[in-house]
Structure 1
Amino acid sequence: MGAHFIVVEGAIGVGKTSVVERLAERMEARTVLEEWGQNPFLTPFYEGKPGAAFQIELFYLLSRYRQQQELTQRTLFERYTLSDYLFEKSKLFAYLNLDDSELLIYERLYAMLIEGVPRPDLVVYLQAPTEVLLRRIRTRGRPEEARLSEEYLAEVNRAYNHYFFHYTATPLLVVNTTDVDFAKRAEDVDDLLKQIRGMGKGTRYYVPLGSKR
């Protein structure tokens, strides 16, 4: 398999971290996981507090950049690295959440940081309808997400679908997760790993085994 740095992406609640953790077990891979819970502005943002959107986006941007810089120091003993986010998601959320004046500042900082971010060898995009995402979010029950609205989640989902419809930067595996739970079925994770190992150039669409039953 030529892909040594693999990113698993998708909208809020799709199950990125669960997939990364299960793939990492099979691949004996290093993981780089989003530090979402360490952002002190998360709850104020979902509560609609003034200024919280700019604060949350700057915090995430700098946190992701620090993690990505650590990736460049990968040792010879680490064959594979799996991450549950693509650095470019920072800009996607910024355009959803910030006003024009905030974006002006944000884009200048983003342009400086993106130059030092390593590019993945493969991106796996987990896709699901908004109602499925909302159900999964409610099931996992994170207090910080209690005020997350279906309308906002739909905006996020549309933004992700639009972004990856036009994505050409790396090979892309689009996975329909509507009827599959990778956390519950080992067979589905094994089959996903086969798809990853068989990836070449371009974009491939994949419906997991669990969705076919």
Structure 2
Amino acid sequence: MLNNAYKELSSGDNRHFVVVAGNIGSGKTTLTKKLSNRLGWKPFFESVQDNPYLADFYDNMSRWSFPLQVYFLNHRFNTHKNIESGLASSVQDRSIYEDANIFARALFEQGDLDARDYENYCKLYESMIQYLNPPTLMIFLKRSVPKLQERIQLRGRDYEQAIPVDYLTKLNQYYDDWYDSYELGKSLIVDTDDLDFLENEDHFDKLVQKIHDSIDQQEMFFTY
């Protein structure tokens, strides 16, 4: 059964566009890499190392929130269009939809993005997504705040170490709201607190099977 899932997902006859969505430290990049390596899909990663605003943003959110969000919006719009125009199955680390529904919203509601900039951003976002087709499948990675903190500490990015707990908690809340209202297409919710798809190949195999099954189903919830 699993071999059939790998064969069908990696087949050139079936072109898929899958997004891995989730909070900071939820395991998005790890899962994107593993799916790409196992299935032969083309990976598209979040712009982190070459992002000119990210370190400054975590040092002063109010000052850098608007340019950072516009940078991400532009980057993910172009990535999305490149995926759509490509011929290979692809997996993307975070989506343009998260930028607006999670991060820009959180920054506005906590007072780090003023109303004028937020309105401008939302109008720009709405104009851009009219030119995008939603992904085949949206994978939502759910993870508790203590587990997010563990992963953030383990990967050791200096600028992430001081991310406030309240900020991670707020993002988790907004992710939950977004999961509940997502209607753009098929979705799969994965509780990653007890799912170790990095080190445990059995867990990863089970997840791939669920991804395969979800392509033909509207909604799935998976916990190990």
TM over 0.5: yes
TM-score of the superposed pair, with normalisation by structure 2: 0.86
**1:188 aligned residue (189, 196, 203):** 203
Counterpart of 1:16?
28
Counterpart of 2:57?
45
Counterpart of 1:63?
75
Q: Which runs of 5+ in 1 are unaligned?
A: 209-213
Q: Which runs of 5+ in 2 are unaligned?
A: 1-7, 9-13, 108-112
Runs (4+) of structure 1 exceeding 6 A deviation are none
Counterpart of 2:110?
none
Counterpart of 2:180?
165
Between the aligned partners of 2:57 and 2:67, the Cα distance in structure 1 is 9
Between the aligned partners of 2:200 and 2:140, the Cα distance in structure 1 is 19
Between the aligned partners of 1:168 and 1:202, the Cα distance in structure 2 is 10
| Percent sequence identity over aligned pairs | 26
2:49 aligns to what SS in structure 1? helix
Deviations 1:148-172 (A, max 9, x none): 1111111111111111022122111
1:184 aligns to what SS in structure 2? coil
CA contact (8 A) 1:46 1:144 kept: yes
Deviations 1:56-85 (A, max 9, x none): 11111111111112112213xx2x211111
1:36-185 aligned at under 5 Å gives the runs 36-48=48-60, 50-75=62-87, 78=88, 80-91=89-100, 92-97=102-107, 98-185=113-200
**1:35 aligned residue (47, 62, 65):** 47
1:72 aligns to what SS in structure 2? helix
1:37 aligns to what SS in structure 2? coil
**1:4 aligned residue (2, 6, 16):** 16
TM-score of the superposed pair, with normalisation by structure 1: 0.91
Between the aligned partners of 2:144 and 2:82, the Cα distance in structure 1 is 34
Relative to 1, partners in 2 of residues 1:146 and 1:116: Cα closer, same or farther, differing over 3 Å? same
CA RMSD of superposed structures (Å): 1.5
CA contact (8 A) 1:61 1:90 kept: yes
